[in-house]
Amino acid sequence: MPKMKTNRSAAKRFYKTSASGKVKRFRGGKSHLNQYKSRKRVNRLASPVFIGGKAAIRIKKQVPYL
């Protein structure tokens, strides 16, 4: 059986999976113009988010070797 192809744009956005099957991603919007954003907002943007449910299943199909 041939290797499965990975969706490269999805592979750049999603990093790891948790033991329960959720997918870890980082938030966008923190690379520039940070002087106009509050400290609370910038700190929140720096923390990762876990995606679960049907979205996680769809991501795992796009990135099979995650």
| pLDDT given for residue 1 in this prediction | 86
d(CA 64, CA 3): 10
| pLDDT given for residue 34 in this prediction | 93
| pLDDT given for residue 40 in this prediction | 96
Would you write out the chain's pLDDT as a tens digit for each of its 66 residues? 899 999 999 999 998 999 999 999 999 999 999 999 999 999 999 999 999 999 999 999 999 998
pTM as predicted: 0.78
d(CA 11, CA 41): 26
**CATH class, 8-62 region:** few secondary structures
Domain assignments of the chain as residue spans, ordered by start = 8-62
CB contact at 8 A, 34 and 45: no
